Structure 1
């Protein structure tokens, strides 16, 4: 007798979109497609939501005309992943991405606000974003009250990793003239 083990069914972006269009998932479900797996995401708490609002407030006016601010919407990474990061700065697009989801090459800065998802954001999402050459990835770490910055994606990870405190200031890689006080987002 040959042993048979259950196998995962991995899905791709096309099948993921068809499932959404068919109404397979309840409208209130918080789901992401990560490396072909459909993952349930934690509900957004008030502290998390407030920090996303702080990011929007701190960066929107500074990047006006140079980038598009996007929050908690999909970004397509290859054929197997469509995460919904907490915050994105995207390259300008005349139709504001109304005809397609942004792709990795459209991303200037990607930010996750992390409390209960910190380990996942540091490990799986960091590698996912580096693999797809997202040039700059920040984690607003609500557990340790710091900003983790990941830059220079290469070979599935980031070569530069920095942790900043509230007293620090950071410039964006894609828009170096823009400086952000970490206290404004923490």
Structure 2
């Protein structure tokens, strides 16, 4: 069997598919490396972790950043993912005229339950190739944080897994720290 020659979609074509109704605006998909990919269904733990982490980041970083929650970012001509959380450079127009790009992103956080392989695989590669310097994956099942830094065209050169009791600071805000347990705390309060 031979591999098929796949035609990749551009972000312009992908956006047009939504605009003219080929893709429904509420359809749970994103464009990754030129391919339309279904976004995994969200569990209760996934949603709770996003809410907890957003509140924690907002309380500590306040007006230093603009918080984007499950909104698209344009990384290149073939990728327009919708990260769970993106900390953005403040824009006076709140990115009304364009989507945020890699240059606008301080940190991307993905929350993974069933999506850990994708978040630590293809998404990490795309984020690295786009120059996202700080990428975190909160693993709700194993209650740990996958930390990706030092992006290159081959992927992240630094990949570390931090345990539940570890602390971390965003690269752009080294004086502000977070404990992994603070982002995952609800999961232990059953």
> CA offsets per residue over residues 143-180 of structure 1, 9 Å max, x none?
22101111111233112222112211111101111111
Segment drifting more, 138-147 vs 125-134: 138-147
Aligned to 1:149: 147
Is this contact kept in 1: 2:66–2:90, CA < 8 A?
A: yes
Aligned to 2:187: none
Aligned to 1:108: 106
> CA offsets per residue over residues 15-65 of structure 1, 9 Å max, x none?
111111001123431000001101111222211111110111110121122
TM-score by structure 1 length? 0.93
Q: How many pairs does the alignment contain?
A: 184
| Pair 1:5–1:184, CA change in 2 (3 A) | closer
Root mean square deviation of aligned Cα: 1.6
Residue 60 of structure 2 is aligned to residue 65 of structure 1 = no
Cα distance in 1 between the residues matched to 2:41 and 2:26: 10
Is this contact kept in 2: 1:131–1:157, CA < 8 A?
A: yes
Aligned to 2:188: none
Aligned to 2:74: 76
Structure 1 stretches lacking a partner, 5+ long: none
Is this contact kept in 1: 2:18–2:24, CA < 8 A?
A: no
5 Å-filtered alignment, 1:6-45, equals 7-45=5-43
Over 6 Å off, 4+ runs: none
Equivalent of 2:128, from 109, 127, 130? 130
Aligned to 2:161: 163
